[in-house]
Amino acid sequence: MASSKTTSSSSFYFALSFPSPTHTWESRKSQQFEMAAPPPQRLHSAVAPLFLLFLLLVILALALAVNITAVLSPYPDLSAFNRLLSSTSVPCDLSGRSSLTILAIPNAYLLRSSAARAAADIADVLRYHVLLEYLSSPDLRRIPAGGKLVATLYQTTGRADGNLGTVNFTRDRIGAVTARFPSPFHGSKATILGLVGTLPYNVSVLAIDALLLPYGFDLAATDIRPSVGLNITPVLVDGGSFNVAASMLEASGVVAELEADEHGAGITVFVPTDETFADFPATERLQSLPADRKALVLRFHVLRSYYPLGSLESIVNPVQPTVATEDTAAGCFTLNITRVNGSVAIDTGLVVAFITRTVFDQNPVAVFAVSKVLLPREIFAGEADASNLAPQCTEGVDTPPARLSPPQGFKEEVTSGTGGKGVALFYTVSLYLPLLFA
C-alpha cells in the first residue's frame, strides 16, 4: 500500500513538471494555482481574530480619550473654570491623554482672581493646572515630608525651563496639602480644598483655593494691565458695513449691557452685515417684533465667553449657550458651532451661517462677521407665546443637572463625557479577548 501511494505521488509531481501532450496550459495553470492557494477557511480563521483585536483596541483608545469640559460640566460651581478652559485650546490638548489630575478653581475663588481676567496667555496658566499624573486621596495622604514634584501640561510646551513646569505638593503637620511653584522664591501657591470627582486611574479633579501662576507670569504686572473696554458700537461703525446691527444694538439697550460686563470670561459677538440684513426675507418680521423679543434675538448673537477664531475652529462642546440663554432657561437659545469645509458654521436650528471675517479680536472681546442673521427657532419656528417658550426650547436638550459640587473630601466617580463609556468598553473588551484566540 505504501509503495502504491509513493508511485502515485511521484507520478503526480512528474505530471506537473513534464506534462503529457493531453495536458493544456490552462489545466496546468489551474493545478498550480490550486496547489499554491491556502484553504480560504484557514486564512479567514487566522486573520479575523487579529482584525477584531485591532478594531477593539482602536475603539478602546477613542473611548478613553478625555473630554475634560464634559467631565467638569456636572459641577455648577466649577462653571467659570470650565468656560475659561473652553475658550482655549487646552481641551484639544487633552483629547489623546489619560492619567490626569485637574486642579480646578471654584467660582467663588476664580471670579475674584484678577489674573484669570488679565493674563495675556491664560491658556498656559490653565495648562499649569493639568497634572500629567493621576492623584487620588490616598496619593495625597502619602506625600513625603520633602514634597512631591508632578509634571504639568505646561511642561510639555517647551516654554518652561528645567522643572519650572512642575508643581510641588507638600503636606503640613495637620494634613493640609499645598500645591506651589517648585522654587521657594516664587509666591504662587494654593491649598487643596478636596477631591471633587474621579474616573479611577484616568482623571481626577481636585478643587484648589487660588489660581497657580507658572514662572514668568507676574501677577503684579497683570493687575495693572489696562483693560480693553467693551466699546462695541465704534468697532462696528469702523467696520464699515455693520450700521444696521450697530443701530439695533444701541436702540435695544443690549450694547450697554455688554459694555457694562467687563469681567468674567469675556464675550464673542456674531454680527450680520448691512447687505445680509437687506437681502434677508425675514428682516421685516424681525423689525416688527416687540422690543423685548427683538432684544432677545440680538442677545442670541452673543456668547458669554471670549473665543478667538482658532478656539471656534477647534471647539469641543459644539452646543453653546448665548446671552439670551441667561434670560430664559438652560437649553434655550443655543448655537451649534462646528467646522465645515474649513469654515466655522453656526447652526441655529433654522439657518446655518458662516463666519466670513474677523472684525475685532482683543481679549476679552471677539467680533465676527457672519453670512446670515441668526434666527432662534424658539421665536421664528412658530408663533409660540412666552408662556410655553421654555418647555419648547428645553425639549430634547441634554443639559447638566442643576446641583452643587460634592462637599470637600467627598469622592464621586465621574461618569459624564466619554470616561464612563471607556470603562464599560474596557470590561467588554476584557471579556471578549479570550474568545478571539480560542
What is the C-alpha separation between 232 and 298, in angstroms, rounded? Answer: 13
Percentage of the chain modeled with pLDDT above 90: 22
Confidence of residue 161 (pLDDT cuts 50, 70, 90): confident
CATH 2.30.180.10 domain extents, the chain:
65-224+403-417, 232-383
Confidence of residue 59 (pLDDT cuts 50, 70, 90): low
- pLDDT, residue 21, reads 45
CA 291 to chain centre: 36
The CA–CA distances, whole Å, from 436 to 42, 60, 61, 422 equal 15, 16, 19, 20
Per DSSP, what are the bridge partners of residue 271? 369
Global confidence as pTM: 0.44
Q: What is the mean pLDDT of residues 293-322?
A: 85
Rounded to 10°, the helix 243-252/232-239 angle is: 160
Model confidence over 19-45: pLDDT tens digits?
A: 444 444 445 544 554 455 555 555 455
Model confidence over 223-273: pLDDT tens digits?
A: 433 344 557 888 888 878 899 999 999 888 888 877 765 455 678 899 999
- pLDDT, residue 218, reads 58
Q: What is the mean pLDDT of residues 79-87?
A: 84
Q: Which CATH number, 2.30.180.10, 1.20.120.1200, 1.20.1260.10, 1.20.1050.10, labels domain 65-224+403-417?
A: 2.30.180.10
- pLDDT, residue 288, reads 81
Q: What is the mean pLDDT of the chain?
A: 73
CB atoms within 10 A of CB 415: 14
- pLDDT, residue 385, reads 41
Residues 100, 101, 103, CA angle at the centre, nearest 5°? 145
Q: What is the mean pLDDT of residues 350-374?
A: 89
Residue 407 has pLDDT above 90, yes or no: no
Going by C-alpha positions, the residue among 65, 126, 115, 118 that lies closest to residue 311 is: 126
Q: What is the mean pLDDT of residues 290-311?
A: 88
- pLDDT, residue 42, reads 54
- pLDDT, residue 260, reads 64
- pLDDT, residue 398, reads 37
- pLDDT, residue 68, reads 84
Residue bearing the bigger pLDDT, 139 or 436 = 139
Model confidence over 183-220: pLDDT tens digits?
A: 765 667 899 999 998 888 889 999 998 889 888 775 44
For the record, the C-alpha cell of 413 comes out as 466617580
Residue 180 has pLDDT above 50, yes or no: yes
Q: Which CATH number, 1.10.3720.10, 3.40.50.620, 3.40.50.150, 2.30.180.10, labels domain 232-383?
A: 2.30.180.10
Say if CB 75 and CB 415 are below 8 A apart.
no
- pLDDT, residue 56, reads 58
CB neighbour burial string for 229-251, b if at least 16 within 10 angstroms, e if fewer: ebebbebbeebeebebbbebbee
Question: 62-65 — which CB contacts under 8 Å span 24+ positions?
Answer: 62/418, 63/418, 63/421, 63/422, 63/425, 63/426, 64/98, 64/202, 64/418, 64/419, 64/422, 64/426, 65/95, 65/96, 65/97, 65/98, 65/418, 65/422
- pLDDT, residue 109, reads 80
- pLDDT, residue 437, reads 52
Model confidence over 323-346: pLDDT tens digits?
A: 888 877 777 899 999 988 889 999
- pLDDT, residue 89, reads 79
Residue bearing the bigger pLDDT, 165 or 110 = 165
